[in-house]
Each structure stands twice: as structure tokens, then as C-alpha cells.
């Protein structure tokens, strides 16, 4: 549990700094004279940098665990954060955002494996705890932007370099503690006993590939919808309801903050009732609210967005653990795929949505996005899992 809490804390600090990128969009849009397409391209740069490297990092560290690599990743994030604070041109903004994405690509695969190994068999709970940190950190970005970055300007981003240094210290302790935990686990599990343990049901490579592809698509639909809010929600609120920048940032914080509750709720419940049920709940539960949202007033927009994100985020831990059960021994690769590839696809969606918003308007884009969760109906083709997360025999 100390390792899980420390990992959650580092996830909070890591994602908090990353969330400052979309949180400053209203500022840099005016300062640099950017259009929505260029805003979307910043998101794309960050997400693509992360998505291209995460699966590669995860596959490599599956064979060569590198707990201290997280510290190196945070160094890239620190460099990118300072670059965002003092960038004088649009290309430098893109380069800085790319460095933050590179830091993310190094952090997530190794941290995901640490959380899995420290779970004590409660994999959904462990991923839920890990996710709470990330979701909370992501939600804090808009709040910090509203009360620090917006009043004090773009250069105030440099203040958060102290947070990156704190994260490095915490990551160093976590990596050392994790190495000690691994030695204890190896000493407590003799090779002879490991050989007699029941092997999980085998699946064909094609079946696993199809299931993983569906899971990636499910996360893409959720991430594309979430990215539309992270990148453009403030503009939607300002344009449609005439709220201030600070008010829009606070509402973005409430939207993102609901992810933390959804993550831990979905992780705990997934261990009890099964991954499939949680995945279906996140689809069927959110879809009616997303369809209603474009027609809501300001108050109900706030209420509905919280409910939508609370429900949708409940599936992330379930999807991640499901994929780990399908690909045992490839935890880093799974973490890289689902933190990297799915989020990278979400970044591509953000860039396309930005271009679309320039043509038809933000309100019309949100009307189109309301149908994205329906892609989740592909979950019908997933193999069923027992409530303990193991693949159900005979299916």
C-alpha cells in the first residue's frame, strides 16, 4: 500500500503538470493569435509524442525493468514545462509540449507495472488507486490555471518546476522501495511452487489481438470525448454562455475532477462484479447524458458533464486490468498501449475537432461528439470475464 500511494502521488504530480497544457489554451490563443486548428495541433504534438514511445518503452521494460527511468521521464517534463513558460514562438510551444509528452511516455509503462506488482491480487483496486492520482492531477491543472496562471501570465508556469523536482524525489524513493518489494516477492515464491501454479486459460493470438483492438477503440472513444472537453470546453462555455475565463476553468476542473471518483469506484467494483459489467455500465450509463448535453443550459451543462465523466472514467481500470489478463507478462506493453496509443488517438481526434470547430463552430462539434460513446457498443464482441478478472473458461 505505501508503494501504491506513492505511485498515485507521483501520478498526481505528473498529470497535474501535463494538464497545464490545455489549461493555458485560452491565454496562448490570444497571446499568439492562434486558431482552433493550431490549438488542436498542440494537443496532437503532446499526445503523439507520448503515444509513439509508450508502447516501445513498455515492451523494452517488460524484459528489462527500469524503475529509475521514471526520474528521467520527469526531467523531460520539467524541461518542457519551463519551455512552455518562456516560449516566444509557436514552434517552441510545440517542442515544449512534445517534451512533456515524452516524459509521460517514460513514466506510465513502468509505473503501471509497479502498481500491478504491488496490488496483492486486487488488481482493479491497485489500478484504481493509481488512476485516482492521475485523474486528480489532471483536474488540478485548470484550477491552478484559473487562480495562478490566468492572473499572473504564461511565465508563471515556471513556478511548477518545483513540483517536478518534488516528483523526482518521490519517484526515486518509490523505485527503491519497489526494488525491495520485488526481492521480497521473489524470495517468498520458490520456482518449484511457481511451476505448479495453475496456468491461465490460453487464447489464440488472433483472439487476443481482436480483443485488445476493441479495448483500444473503446478507450479511443472515451479519450476523444474527454479531449474535446480538455481542449475546447472553456471556449464552448465562454462562447455559448458568456462566462469568464476563470469560471470556465473552474467548470473544467469539476469535469476533470469527477474522473478521480469514477476511477477508484470502477476499480473497486470491477474486482467484485467483473470487468465486463463495468465496461457496459460506462457505455450505457453515459450515452443518454452525452446526447442531452448539447441542449442543456449552463447549470445542467455543469451537472451533466460531471455525471458523464464520472461514469465514463469508471471503465479505465477495468479495461486496463482486462488487457493485462489477456496479455500476462506484458504489463509494460499494455500500459504503453493504453496510456500511449489510445491517448495518442485522442490527440489526433482533438486536432481534427479543432479544424472542424474552425469550420462549423464549437457548439456543432459538441453535438457531433455526443455520439462518440456509442462506439463503446463494440464491447459486445469482447470475451467475458469472471468477477475476479480471470477469463471465463469455455468462452
Banded model confidence at residue 190, pLDDT cuts 50, 70, 90: low
pLDDT attached to residue 391? 42
Q: Where are the domains of the chain?
A: 2-184+204-381
pLDDT attached to residue 59? 74
CB 341 within 8 A of CB 291: no
Architecture of domain 2-184+204-381: Up-down Bundle (1.20)
Higher pLDDT, 271 or 28: 28
Give the phi and the psi of residue 20 in degrees, each rounded to 5.
-70, -20
pLDDT attached to residue 216? 77
99-128 pLDDT, tens per residue?
988 888 888 777 777 777 666 666 666 777
pLDDT attached to residue 196? 43
* Mean of pLDDT values over 19-27: 77
Residue 88, number of CB atoms within 10 A of its CB: 8
Residue 274 has pLDDT above 80, yes or no: no
Residue 45 has pLDDT above 80, yes or no: yes
Residue 387 has pLDDT above 60, yes or no: no
Helix, strand, coil shares of the chain, percent, nearest 5, are 85, 0, 15
279-294 pLDDT, tens per residue?
788 777 888 888 898 8
149-158 pLDDT, tens per residue?
777 777 777 8
Residue 277 has pLDDT above 60, yes or no: yes
| Residue appearing with cell numbers 510545440 | 94
pLDDT attached to residue 388? 42
Q: Report d(CA 190, CA 66) in Å as an integer.
A: 24
65-96 pLDDT, tens per residue?
777 778 888 888 888 888 888 887 888 888 98
Banded model confidence at residue 199, pLDDT cuts 50, 70, 90: very low
Residue 389 has pLDDT above 50, yes or no: no
pLDDT attached to residue 93? 86
Give the phi and the psi of residue 66 in degrees, each rounded to 5.
-135, 75
CB 374 within 8 A of CB 287: yes
Residue 393, judged by CB atoms within 10 A of its CB (0-12, 13-18, 19+), counts as exposed
pLDDT attached to residue 122? 67
pLDDT attached to residue 24? 77
CA dihedral 264, 251, 232, 78 (to 10 degrees): -60
Tell me how far apart the terminal alpha carbons of the chain are, to the nearest angstrom.
34
* Mean of pLDDT values over 163-170: 86
Nearest CA-CA partner of 101 in 46, 146, 39: 46
Banded model confidence at residue 394, pLDDT cuts 50, 70, 90: very low
pLDDT attached to residue 340? 67
Q: Report d(CA 392, CA 383) in Å as an integer.
A: 8
pLDDT attached to residue 119? 65
Question: Does the predicted TM-score (pTM) go above 0.85?
Answer: no
Element (H, E) at 73: helix 69-86
* Mean of pLDDT values over 157-176: 83
* Mean of pLDDT values over 203-230: 77
Residue 343 has pLDDT above 70, yes or no: no
Residue 167 has pLDDT above 80, yes or no: yes
286-323 pLDDT, tens per residue?
888 888 988 888 899 889 988 888 888 777 777 777 77
Q: Report d(CA 389, CA 116) in Å as an integer.
A: 13
Amino acid at each position: 500500500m505505501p508503494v501504491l500511494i506513492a505511485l498515485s502521488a507521483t501520478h498526481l504530480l505528473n498529470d497535474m503538470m501535463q494538464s497545464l497544457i490545455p489549461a493555458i489554451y485560452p491565454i496562448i490563443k490570444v497571446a499568439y493569435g492562434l486558431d482552433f486548428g493550431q490549438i488542436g495541433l498542440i494537443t496532437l504534438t503532446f499526445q503523439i509524442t507520448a503515444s509513439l514511445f509508450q508502447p516501445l518503452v513498455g515492451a523494452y521494460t517488460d524484459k528489462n525493468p527500469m524503475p529509475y527511468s521514471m526520474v528521467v521521464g520527469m526531467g523531460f517534463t520539467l524541461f518542457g514545462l519551463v519551455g512552455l513558460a518562456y516560449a516566444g514562438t509557436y514552434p517552441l510551444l510545440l517542442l515544449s509540449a512534445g517534451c512533456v509528452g515524452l516524459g509521460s511516455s517514460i513514466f506510465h509503462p513502468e509505473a503501471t507495472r509497479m502498481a500491478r506488482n504491488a496490488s496483492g491480487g486486487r488488481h482493479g483496486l491497485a489500478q484504481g488507486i493509481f488512476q485516482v492520482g492521475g485523474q486528480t492531477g489532471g483536474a488540478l491543472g485548470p484550477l491552478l490555471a484559473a487562480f495562478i496562471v490566468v492572473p499572473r501570465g504564461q511565465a508563471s508556469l515556471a513556478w511548477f518546476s518545483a513540483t517536478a523536482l518534488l516528483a523526482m524525489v518521490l519517484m526515486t524513493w518509490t523505485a527503491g522501495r519497489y526494488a525491495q518489494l520485488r526481492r521480497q516477492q521473489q524470495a517468498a515464491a520458490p520456482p518449484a511452487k511457481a511451476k505448479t501454479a495453475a496456468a491461465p486459460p490460453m487464447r489464440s493470438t488472433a483472439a487476443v489481438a481482436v480483443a485488445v483492438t476493441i479495448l483500444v477503440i473503446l478507450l479511443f472513444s472515451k479519450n476523444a470525448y474527454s479531449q474535446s472537453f480538455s481542449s475546447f470546453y472553456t471556449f464552448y462555455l465562454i462562447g455559448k454562455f458568456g462566462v469568464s475565463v476563470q469560471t470556465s476553468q473552474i467548470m473544467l476542473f469539476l469535469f476533470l475532477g469527477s474522473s478521480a471518483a469514477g476511477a477508484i469506484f470502477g476499480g473497486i467494483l470491477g474486482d467484485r462484479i467483473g470487468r465486463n459489467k463495468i465496461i457496459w455500465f460506462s457505455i450505457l450509463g453515459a450515452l443518454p447524458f452525452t446526447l442531452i448535453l448539447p441542449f442543456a443550459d449552463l447549470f445542467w451543462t455543469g451537472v451533466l458533464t460531471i455525471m458523464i465523466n464520472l461514469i465514463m472514467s469508471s471503465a479505465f481500470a477495468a479495461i486496463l486490468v482486462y488487457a493485462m489478463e489477456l496479455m500476462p507478462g506484458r504489463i509494460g506493453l499494455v500500459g504503453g498501449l493504453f496510456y500511449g496509443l489510445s491517448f495518442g488517438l485522442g490527440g489526433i481526434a482533438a486536432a481534427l475537432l479543432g479544424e472542424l470547430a474552425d469550420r462549423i463552430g464549437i457548439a456543432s462539434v459538441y453535438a457531433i461528439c455526443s455520439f462518440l460513446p456509442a462506439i463503446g457498443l463494440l464491447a459486445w464482441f469482447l470475451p467475458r470475464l469472471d468477477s475476479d478478472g480471470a477469463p471465463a473458461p469455455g468462452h
